[in-house]
A = this chain, B = another copy of it.
Amino acid sequence: MVLDVWFTEKHEDKQGISLKVSGILYSGQSKFQKIDVIETEAYGRVLLLDGLVMTTEKDEFFYHEMISHIPLLAHPNPERVLIIGGGDGGTIRETLKHPSVKKIELCEIDGDVIDVSKQYLPSIACKMDDPKVETHIKDAVEYIKDKKNCFDAVLIDSTDPLGPGVGLFTEEFYTNVQDSLRENGVMAAQTESPIACRKEFKLINKLLNGVFSVVKPYFAPVPTYPGSYWSWTFCSKVTQPEIYDENTAIEVEKSTKYYNREIHRAVFAVPNYVKNLITRSQTAK
């Protein structure tokens, strides 16, 4: 008989996602957070940071394709990319599908996340040692400060606005990110669930609107995240995200599971209740 063991991630002590667990592959405490990898029947291996699902083998494609291809295809020729957080390597793997990219800097605060991902999540972390990748085990809040006018794209693949990730959700940080971008530069950040994390979604949207001229949230499912309905936000000084490089998109969509050009056009549709959240957050400035 198989042991009936379940992991439940509870969100705000009101709702949760439960996964049947067939094994605990790794449990450790880094300098910053608790790191676990569990084996589940529904989603394969799952990386947990401080007990929260960060990524799973079977649904990571939604998240990683959204945070990378939407902003990178909106840029006419992204060469230099900064990924903040992203220690599991999924965003690196997707970013490398863009032939124009010459260099990826990964700024991850917790080196243990990288090591654990390389060992236990090879399908996600498979490209972390690519020669185009330069890894910095540093706090991005500090790392970004002296980077001026140098990136074509900054992808903020962070944890939630608590624990080691909290400094990545401030006006000062977003201002530094904007200053780090070249003229046509683009930024995309994970910006929480518009259903389970409405407060955080509103707050981040308000902060981004205070810094960037172009601020466009976009939406897709991530089944193992709270609410399972997730948002990212595209920001830039001038570049619009709905216009993408058609030829590169055709190439990219050959190896994606979620992304394609139809999806690119669709993800920016904003539901009525989300429009109300955003309008209220903007007028509350």
Contact = CB atoms under 8 A, between A and B. Distances in A.
Interface string A48-69: 0000000000010100000000
Interface string A197-235: 000000000000000000000000101000111000000
A258 interface: yes
A106 to B, nearest CB: 26
Contact of A8 (B18, B195, B275): B18
A45 to B, nearest CB: 14
A18 B15 contact: yes
A263 interface: yes
A264 to B, nearest CB: 8
Contact of A18 (B16, B43, B223, B266): B16
A285 interface: no
Contacts of A18: 8, 10, 15-18
Contact of A196 (B223, B253, B263, B273): B223
A41 B273 CA distance: 20
